[in-house]
Amino acid sequence: MRFSVPLALAAVLFASTTSFAVAAPPTSLDVTAKSVDFFSDRFIVTADGDVSVRLSDGTVIRGQTFTMDLKLNRYLVAGDVHLDGPTVHEVGAAFAGYPDLDRSYFLPASGSPSRVTYFGLDWAHPDPKREQPGDAYYFPDLTGERAYIKADGARIVPRTNILFDMARVYTAGVYVPSPRYVVTFSANSHYFENAFAGARGDVGVPFNGSAHSLTALHLRNDAINGTYLAFDQHFVWDQDWVVLGVDPLTQEQRQYNLIGYKRWSPKFESRLFTQVSAAQAGIINAATNAAGFAQLQLSAGLKGSNLTLTQDNYYQYLLGLPYGLTDLNTARSDFDPRWKEHPTDGSLAFTGGQTPLTHGANPLYLRPRFGVGYAHDVWGEGGFDNEQPGPPTLWYRYAGGSVYTPPIRLGAALSLTGSYDRQRTWYSLPHQLDNGDLRFTLAGARERQHLRYYLAYEVKTIDDYWGAQQLAAYNPAANVVTTAFGTYSGQAAFRGLATSRGYTSSLVYTPTQFFEFAITGSRFYDTPAPVPGLYGQPPWQVTGDLRVRLSRQVLLDLTRQYYFNFANERWTPQFGIQFSP
């Protein structure tokens, strides 16, 4: 008898969980009909003719027409409705499901007017006395609307996505066929995490999905690989996610990227990034060369601050001995000895919260940061001129912070912000590095003219100190150098200290939500002065950026730069072209 109380509690718990499972709303709806349409502007799915809706518990609802509002998360079957399941066989005029309310409303075909309410998937206990909302059987008006997708069937996962079978997707004025197509409308942004490198154009075709996954094939274009196919697979939960990307899928040089994120608690999270770069003639062929990289990052939230631990691992050659060598010490001109090494680096970084230094109408804030780290086998056989060979492990620590102001109002449409960032890094060698960044920005807007603008002045400094070894680290160079673009003097003055001063101004014109044009001009004064064809950035730069939304799914972004004849370059040879959602 001593187990009677625990057993009783267990029985109650089991009964309660079982009851909850029965009463739970459907997790999916499989819809088939003569025609299934999706109206993307309204996020509404309709079906007509011999409609069949199979719920996740196996219950089937048949009728003549069906509609579901994906945002409101409610559906309706009407016209000669048959409700059939293990515990229910009913005939009626209409059936309305409200998953968020965990209720379904039914108009049975009986002699006297009546309405029945079901709770979740519990069909054995209908409630004929429950009051129903007045619009429970409301059909939306889609007059004049064009269906974005036409299909033979659809699987709807409420609040998440729709998988269409034998879909025809409206694109550029015609319906383009696709065996399967998925529309994801979940509020969880992790379905759209990116595992690809940048590209000028990317058209994704999601062809499989579930309550926790999304699979897509992408048609992409970039300046290096041209036009190619890529693939990504997403797994998504409430807080956690994993995404795998293969990019390009149809080129010999290929990258496999895997990114995973886990939130262990509201103030502790982890992120893993792994990458394999491979030379692979075919999709299923063995690679002839491969290298890898992995990064693990742990972040903990403290009171108004953050602590982050990062570990990087580099795998120079994953396929064993390169070039068919049997001895890594064999001398060979095309063998890089660094492949014998396993470089690693790591850091522990603290970022403080916003701390007010002054109070009043225009306060001044400080955000400090500190950190320690190491790098192992990164230099390998190399190193600086004054450190040969480089040390196997380099340790460092740093301290810095940002001092800044919130926007200071100078008028109805003008504001001023200022910031100064400074960091010093000390290395285990007799070596330290100072970085500074001072910036003032004047910004404003003219709403009636749809204009936004700003003018910024910025000074960046980099000071690389080696103490008594300064001249060994920076050997005096010839004072005059000659490149294909001319002869330049003053090179012997550089001793590891660099300064860049610059003005940047931008004007943005946005007359509608479908069109935006921005022009940005910059003037830089750098020390040492840039040498065309050798180092440095163009002193004068102008960038034009045009964004036009071609459709609900396609945004065109065109950019081009002008360098005022720096290194004999005026306009950049090509436009930057990018298509995105």
Domain extents in the chain: 25-175
pLDDT of residue 14: 34
pLDDT of residue 577: 78
CA angle at residue 230 from 224 to 231, to 5 degrees? 155
* Number of other CB atoms surrounding residue 459 within 10 Å: 15
- Low-confidence winner among 176-190, 320-334, 402-416, 449-463 (lowest mean pLDDT): 320-334
Joined together, the tokens standing for residue 442 give 């004047």
Which one of 2.60.450, 2.60.120, 2.30.30, 2.60.40 gives the CATH number of domain 25-175? 2.60.450
Contacts of 438 (CB under 8 A, 6+ apart): 419, 420, 458, 459
Measured in degrees and rounded to the nearest 5, phi and psi for residue 508 equal -120, 125
CA angle at residue 538 from 535 to 539, to 5 degrees? 120
| Gap between the Cα atoms of 502 and 480, Å rounded | 25
Buried b (16+ CB within 10 A) or exposed e, 318-350: eeeebeeeeeeeeeeeebeebbbbebbbbbbbe
Q: Give 12's pLDDT tier (boundaries 50, 70, 90).
A: very low
Say yes or no to pLDDT of 477 above 50.
Answer: yes
| Gap between the Cα atoms of 508 and 452, Å rounded | 5
pLDDT of residue 13: 35
Query: Cβ(182)–Cβ(209) under 8 Å?
Result: yes
Joined together, the tokens standing for residue 49 give 């003719």
Q: 96-105 long-range CB contacts below 8 Å, 24 or more apart?
A: 96/136, 96/137, 97/25, 97/26, 98/73, 98/74, 98/136, 99/25, 99/26, 99/73, 99/74, 99/158, 100/25, 100/73, 100/74, 102/23, 102/24, 102/25, 105/132, 105/133, 105/136, 105/137
Q: Which of 300, 278, 281 is nearest to 289 (CA)?
A: 278
Q: Give 371's pLDDT tier (boundaries 50, 70, 90).
A: very high
Say yes or no to pLDDT of 208 above 50.
Answer: yes
Partnered with residue 227 across adjacent β-strands are 221
Q: Which of 129, 64, 131, 72 is nearest to 99 (CA)?
A: 72
Query: Cβ(453)–Cβ(441) under 8 Å?
Result: no
What would the mean pLDDT of 226-241 be, rounded to a whole number? 94
pTM more than 0.85? no
pLDDT of residue 341: 67
pLDDT of residue 349: 97
pLDDT of residue 441: 97
Distances (CA, A) of 350 to 319, 354, 366, 370, 400: 38, 13, 14, 5, 10
Query: Cβ(65)–Cβ(45) under 8 Å?
Result: no
Q: Which of 420, 313, 317 is nearest to 375 (CA)?
A: 313
Buried b (16+ CB within 10 A) or exposed e, 514-553: eebebebebebebebebbbbeebebbebebebebeeeeeb
Q: Give 452's pLDDT tier (boundaries 50, 70, 90).
A: very high
pLDDT of residue 330: 54
Say yes or no to pLDDT of 20 above 60.
Answer: no
Buried b (16+ CB within 10 A) or exposed e, 168-202: bbbeeeeeeebebbbbbebeeebbebebbeebbbb
125-148 pLDDT, tens per residue? 999 888 888 888 989 999 889 999
Q: Give 36's pLDDT tier (boundaries 50, 70, 90).
A: very high
Q: Which of 73, 27, 69 is nearest to 45 (CA)?
A: 69
pLDDT of residue 494: 84
| Gap between the Cα atoms of 444 and 452, Å rounded | 6
- The single-letter DSSP state of residue 493 is G
pLDDT of residue 133: 85
| Gap between the Cα atoms of 55 and 38, Å rounded | 19
Say yes or no to pLDDT of 321 above 70.
Answer: no
Joined together, the tokens standing for residue 94 give 């209409």
| Amino acid at the residue 355 | T
| Gap between the Cα atoms of 222 and 200, Å rounded | 5
What would the mean pLDDT of 544-559 be, rounded to a whole number? 86
Q: Which residue has the tokens 């022009």?
A: 519
| Amino acid at the residue 283 | I
| Gap between the Cα atoms of 166 and 365, Å rounded | 58
